[in-house]
Structure 1
């Protein structure tokens, strides 16, 4: 049996849901499918979580439609990168209390260009070409928003960061 993607689309299924259906069918060996064509249809936008947030300005719209979903998608990588950075600097996360952690984050992001560039790379690497062109129009404002949201995510994940942080 050959499964037609247009047939699945007519039911309003997202590419992610279609892919899950295809994987289930693959396990049952009941159809033939050319994955090379399917890979071309999945874009970076398709794997991001959808967030329904209202926005008033174009900057807020870009933040809510692009930056927030990417930060949510890359959350685990963000935490691992920060922990690895702390290990390399020999920062004792076990000695930092939650009250001092926000100050530590602020100092880290303001004084250390390495962690800033790592986080920017994690986020910007998920942009599509159109999103990158939009980002370039107001990069300094979007960078500020990226760092603010990343610091807040890291602060909210303090227990998770500290849990495995033997550094």
Structure 2
């Protein structure tokens, strides 16, 4: 895998989880962006969603709902991220798994929503 990209963040991270999010999760998600988009595009026709016909607000809501409620989709996307961890990062993740999993889900939703136009014209 190529080196992780730099992601500018505010140096005011107050918790270990926020620090991990900024130093580890954001660069991983940025590096995996094309794969995340491709997988989500692959997911849409399987759910028979008329995504292209949704209003812009409905598209954003659908993305959030699908990542939060579709267990298979959520676990695949989170697995893509976790699979990029070093053993040291894995140890940090396991220590705060629930919080960091929540943060990964939120970051995934935000990333997909910010690129909603690239998800259109699917299927």
| TM-score higher than 0.5 | yes
Q: Which of residues 111, 121, 128 is equivalent to 2:69? A: 111
Q: Which has the larger radius of gyration?
A: 1
Equivalent residue, structure 2, for 1:36: none
* Runs of 4 or more above 3 Å deviation: none
* Residues 133-159 of structure 1, C-alpha deviations (whole Å, 9 max, x = no match): 110001110011111111011011011
Structure with higher RCO (Cα < 8 A, 6+ apart): 2
Cα distance, 1:91 vs structure 2: 1.6
Equivalent residue, structure 2, for 1:58: 16
Cα distance, 1:48 vs structure 2: 0.1
1:47 partner SS: coil
Please give the TM-score of this superposition, normalised by the length of structure 1. 0.68
Cα distance, 1:90 vs structure 2: 1.8
Partners of 1:97 and 1:76 in 2: CA distance: 24
> 2:37, 2:119 within 8 Å by CA — same for their partners in 1?
yes
> 2:51, 2:59 within 8 Å by CA — same for their partners in 1?
no
* Residues 20-54 of structure 1, C-alpha deviations (whole Å, 9 max, x = no match): xxxxxxxxxxxxxxxxxxxxxxxx6x610122421
Matches of residues 8-87 of structure 1 in structure 2 within 5 Å? 47-53=3-9, 54=11, 55-87=13-45
1:106 partner SS: helix
Q: Which of residues 86, 89, 93 is equivalent to 1:131? A: 89
Partners of 1:159 and 1:91 in 2: CA distance: 16
1:50 partner SS: coil
Report the count of equivalent residues: 121
Partners of 2:66 and 2:32 in 1: CA distance: 20
Equivalent residue, structure 1, for 2:51: 93
Equivalent residue, structure 1, for 2:115: 157
2:64 partner SS: helix
Aligned-CA RMSD value: 1.4
